Amino acid sequence: MEKLKKLLLGYWCPIVIGLMTILFIGFSFLPLLDFELTNENSFSLSLIQIILGGEYGEVTFKFDALFCFIYLVFILGVIFYFCGYFIKFKNLKTKVAFLGWSLVWILVALILLSCSELFIPNYSDIGEYISDNSLNPLGFALEIICLVVIILLVLRDNFTNLTFKVNDIVEMGMLIALALCLDKIKLWSAPTGGSINLAGIPLLILSIRLGFSKGLIGSSLIFGIISCFMDTWGFQTFPFDYFIAFSGYSIAGLAYSLYTKFIKINNRKNDLIAICLSLCIGAVGVFITRMVGSSISSMIYYDYSLSAALIYQIGYVGPSAALSLAACLVLAKPIEMINHRFKVKSSIKTPEVNSNDTSN
């Protein structure tokens, strides 16, 4: 009985997440969307039925890739969480990275599911049957509640392993504020969103200075949300155009931490080389994530073909990434001097759950 009590106290968070995952899968069979046909007949489809497609009366629905993507992203996020929680990594930063990506995927699933009624008319072949109030309140609410509970618990575990010191918060705030200012200085603007600017400079520096996890939070979450509201294109564009697109900046921090881990830096020249290489990798990473995220957004909201979306995005994503990288390389020496003068200590701590090991 005592061992069971320790087990529940030590692992209550993954247990609840597991139960919420099972409930979400179960609720996926409840009605999610209500459809109205021209002959005044109506019927409801669950999330699973929408994904699989089929014939319902006189109407035939094809396999729905978008809702399948939402479902798979959610499952991927849960898998990342349990891998990060239970696998004993030699480096705790790897554990934090798994928990961070888990939060990313599940949050993307929540946002897409919440905004599904907005982009169905432009994307899915079931859009012509959607009315203004097509979401079934019960099924939709239960699935959203499960996702929100899971996100809160994953967020708890992320902050259990990651601490923010006052200087981290101040530095992150200053760099994000600078990025928001540079984002408004547009060298060229595309017709349906996107521009050539230098907002990537402080975001790359943020990731180099504070690491992958904090770089992801700063660029994708904080900068992404604020710039999304400032651009006024609508919050439905946040998952792809902002959250996924800007996540690539954190790759610079990941590359820098891996470089310093596996290659001994015994002088400042090697540190400068590490910073330059990490900036290059981060620029390539953000180019890929912005191309992928914004292209998917164009295909969903503007009905672009894949080739048209890629051509549109490369017109401003490529120059923005190249200019930001060039500016950061010019600033590489000052960045190295700041790193040497104001070293950022690791703020990853051992999770509390390790102290409740049932084997003791």
Which CATH number fits the domain that encloses residue 190? 1.10.1760.20
pLDDT band at 287 (very low <50, low <70, confident <90, very high): very high
Identify whether residues 136 and 273 lie together within a single domain.
no
Residues of the chain with pLDDT > 90, as a percent, come to 33
Res 50: pLDDT: 80
Taking residues 273-300, report their average pLDDT. 90
Are 103 and 242 in the same domain? Answer: no
Do 115 and 256 reside in the same domain of the chain? no
Q: What is the pLDDT of residue 351?
A: 44
Could you tell me the pLDDT band of residue 356, with boundaries at 50, 70 and 90?
very low
Residues 65 and 143 in one domain: yes
- Tens of pLDDT, residues 27-80: 999 888 776 665 566 677 788 888 887 776 666 777 777 788 889 999 999 999
The residue out of 161, 196, 214 marking a domain boundary is 161
Mark which of 161, 180, 202 sits at the end of a domain.
161
> How confident is the model at residue 297, as a pLDDT?
82
Confidence of residue 138 (pLDDT cuts 50, 70, 90): confident
Residues 112 and 185 in one domain: no
* Domain end among 161, 179, 209: 161
- Confidence band for 320, pLDDT divided at 50, 70 and 90: very high
- Judgement on whether residues 112 and 256 belong to the same structural domain of the protein: no
Q: In this predicted model, which residue has the larger pLDDT, 352 or 136?
A: 136
pLDDT of residue 360: 36
Q: Is residue 360 part of a domain?
A: no
Check residue 281 and give its pLDDT: 95
Host domain of residue 153: 1-161
> What is the per-residue pLDDT across 92-116, written as a single tens digit (0 to 9) for each?
777 777 887 888 888 888 877 877 7
Q: What is the mean pLDDT of the chain?
A: 82
Q: Does residue 192 lie in a domain region?
A: yes
**Is 216 within a domain?**
yes
- 156-177 mean pLDDT: 86
Q: Residue 11: pLDDT above 60? A: yes
Helix axes 332-341, 268-301, angle to 10 degrees: 120
| pLDDT surpassing 50 at residue 347 | yes
**Do 120 and 190 reside in the same domain of the chain?**
no
How many structural domains compose the chain?
Answer: 2
Poorest-confidence range of 53-57, 175-179, 287-291, 305-309?
Answer: 53-57
**156 and 176 assigned to the same domain:** no
Indicate if the pLDDT at residue 358 is higher than 50.
no
Same domain, 157 and 172: no
